[in-house]
Structure 1
Amino acid sequence: MNIVLITGSAGLIGSEAVSFFCERGFVVVGIDNNMRQAFFGQDASTEWNRDRLIHKYGDRYIHHNVDIRNHEAISRIFQTYSKDISLIIHTAAQPSHDWAANEPYTDFTVNANGTLVLLENTRQICPNAVFIFCSTNKVYGDTPNRLPLIEQELRWEIEETHPYNQGIDENMSIDNTKHSLFGTSKVAADVLVQEYGRYFDMKTASFRGGCLTGPSHSGTKLHGFLSYLMKCTMAGHAYQVYGYKGKQVRDNIHSYDLVNAFYHFYQNPRVAEIYNIGGSRYSNCSMLEAIQHCEAITEKKLDWSYIESNRIGDHIWWVSDVSKFQNHYPEWQLTYTVPDILKEIFSQNVNRWL
């Protein structure tokens, strides 16, 4: 039996990974204790997604309501399935800048200590398994804000002749920059994943994502950009745009495209890799452009206001250069644009949000 162990299995990327691997005949062991609700409130609960997975996949999906910081409980899970675990996908996290600043101890222990617990259990119990970590572009801090940007009508853009015009690659420094406390805890986890690969010769990878999105996102004010924006547009809720004139740019990768990248890595793994992964030039938008897309799809006007101050450590312009991953895995391609993603979020959440 081939088992995939997935943390954060009821969240956006985790649940996509559950579906992806269950559909391909794997048994999935999921770990998720719905801490997203504790972080962001009832609207952010992932219980609906957990229940959907249990109902849809039955015996192929085994759920454990466990905190990833609980070393003893995590060890019991690893030991139970030790002979069959071939892949660990670690997506569980505290994902918000603002929340981390208010609860730095919880943020760090979830993001850094929780990752250490999983890595050490992998090393001790199933060292030949592939370990994939869902990292973030926030490991680069606010260094991208030093790029020579040009203000356009609806977005900030980078000079056409700049080496990063097609996206930011893995050579950007993660030092001498303001990360936010969230970014700091993810840096710690990211470096741990690399070091376990190099020091113990384990097959590990940190995927440094841009905006990760899709219809299974429990979007909320502090996390889940496109999902929450569409929810507000559909339901008539007020939305706030923070800083940079609403022209800040994000690349957006659909959860399926990201999990498919994980699958390609799993089939031909490498040691201690890092990859910038996102929508790249194929799928990106500014805040103002995203609002226009949502209004066109819903045929409603969004009630939004502008707040001059930006979030600490927030990026003005981020587009991922995914060429390193595509060079290693040339059969992988992006398949969803921003309008594709928003249309799917709209169509699959009508009954939940209206």
Structure 2
Amino acid sequence: MKILVTGSSGLIGSEVVNYFAQRNHDVIGIDNNMRADFFGPDGDTRWNQKRLESSYINFTHFEIDIRNRNQVLQFIENQKPDVIVHTAAQPSHDLAAKRPFDDFDVNALGTFNLLESCRQFCLESPFIHLSTNKVYGDAPNTIQLKELETRWDFNDDNFINGISENFTIDQSKHSVFGASKLSADIMVQEYGRYFGMYTACLRGGCLTGPNHSGVELHGFLSYLIKTNLNGKLYKVFGYQGKQVRDNIHSYDVATFIDYFIQNPRKGEVYNIGGGKENSISILEAFKLVSSISGKEMKYEYLNQNREGDHICYYSDLTKIKEHFPMWKITKDIPTVFKEIIENWDKRK
């Protein structure tokens, strides 16, 4: 197969390149290193691009800007990929509010450019879109919660397994980022339902892994671990540091994408994360990273939470496991931490 990966130098994109290139597929990646523009030198992903180019002769990088409609149309017409895995995005809440045009142009219009190009030139090719749990806005914060010693948790039996795909996406504060990603999410669903394309929206929890260029504005675990290793100060934004996220290793996302390609469906939505078992709060993450690195976590607490931020969120994996029973989470939280620590040490 010829597999196109957008955002191929990023966390999920590079993992998808690794996964399919190692299985002898032809992989073409498009990435113009917008993360360096968004986040400065710490967000630069050229190191990852070079790593992929030197590792796989069946991987080809293209410097394409998904906001450029004519460029995308021409590229898809020429390449006619068998699969499109769309991971490119502007990923930060805070940055979206400061640069709303760039955020919407990348997240919403860029996705639309790819979708329409796929419809015109490779209609039968599965289109897998990396969406986000932020499409639910801050509505998860309306669920009754209980405060435990180190975390918040749901105090409602309807959410004992977490947030499902049927949870409301309406009448809530999404952040500008969440709204642009929701725009893309709805369009990907519509191209599946209206045009009969094989599409999937993967509403990720905390996507993580060793190849993440984590920065304060994006990349929870990667940035937290880097801060600990470098002895820097980490800022906790509200909720007593007990806010909870479910974390999924980028490899486990790639394996699910493979299962979907083998048995594609039309206009589907899946919450993909670590689930309740792979959930962790900031305070718990501090304790775990210190136990592995041997370094004390330095942090300061700011009483103001981020706009639209979730207090507690973990994915209900019931639907995704029903549709794809062979797929499973293979990397637990301690394994994820150890891999990220090892990779940051290498990159120093």
1:76 corresponds to which residue?
A: 74
2:167 corresponds to which residue?
A: 172
Tell which deviates more after alignment, 333-342 or 6-15: 333-342
Matching of residues 1-354 of structure 1 within 5 Å: 2-58=1-57, 60-82=58-80, 85-159=81-155, 162-353=157-348
Give the gaps of 5 or more residues in structure 1: none
Deviation at 1:336, TM superposition (A): 1.2
Please give the secondary structure, in 2, of the residue aligned with 1:326.
helix
CA distance in 2, matches of 1:222, 1:323: 30
Code of the residue aligned with 1:154 in structure 2: it is: T
Deviation at 1:310, TM superposition (A): 0.3
CA distance in 2, matches of 1:148, 1:162: 10
Code of the residue aligned with 2:128 in structure 1: it is: I
- How big is each residue's C-alpha offset from its partner over 1:331-351, in whole Å with a ceiling of 9 and x where there is no partner? 000011111100110112203
The answer to whether the 8 Å contact 1:215/1:348 transfers is yes
Deviation at 1:33, TM superposition (A): 0.3
- How big is each residue's C-alpha offset from its partner over 1:239-287, in whole Å with a ceiling of 9 and x where there is no partner? 1010000000000000000111111111000000000110002211000
- How big is each residue's C-alpha offset from its partner over 1:65-110, in whole Å with a ceiling of 9 and x where there is no partner? 111011122122212222xx21100000000000000011110010
- How big is each residue's C-alpha offset from its partner over 1:150-185, in whole Å with a ceiling of 9 and x where there is no partner? 1111000112x5111111101111000000000000
TM-score (norm 1): 0.97
Code of the residue aligned with 1:238 in structure 2: it is: L
Please give the secondary structure, in 2, of the residue aligned with 1:335.
coil
4+ residue stretches of structure 1 with deviation over 2 A? Answer: none
- How big is each residue's C-alpha offset from its partner over 1:293-347, in whole Å with a ceiling of 9 and x where there is no partner? 1111100012111000000000000010011010000000001111110011011
Code of the residue aligned with 1:128 in structure 2: it is: E
Give the gaps of 5 or more residues in structure 2: none
Tell which deviates more after alignment, 143-152 or 342-351: 342-351
- How big is each residue's C-alpha offset from its partner over 1:182-233, in whole Å with a ceiling of 9 and x where there is no partner? 0000000000000000110000000000000000000001000000001010
Please give the secondary structure, in 2, of the residue aligned with 1:157.
strand
- How big is each residue's C-alpha offset from its partner over 1:16-48, in whole Å with a ceiling of 9 and x where there is no partner? 000000011110110000000111110110000
Code of the residue aligned with 1:107 in structure 2: it is: D
The answer to whether the 8 Å contact 1:282/1:334 transfers is no
The number of equivalent residue pairs is: 348
CA distance in 1, matches of 2:346, 2:271: 35
CA RMSD, 1 decimal: 0.8
The answer to whether the 8 Å contact 1:284/1:337 transfers is no
- How big is each residue's C-alpha offset from its partner over 1:120-148, in whole Å with a ceiling of 9 and x where there is no partner? 00000000100000000000000000111
Deviation at 1:8, TM superposition (A): 0.3
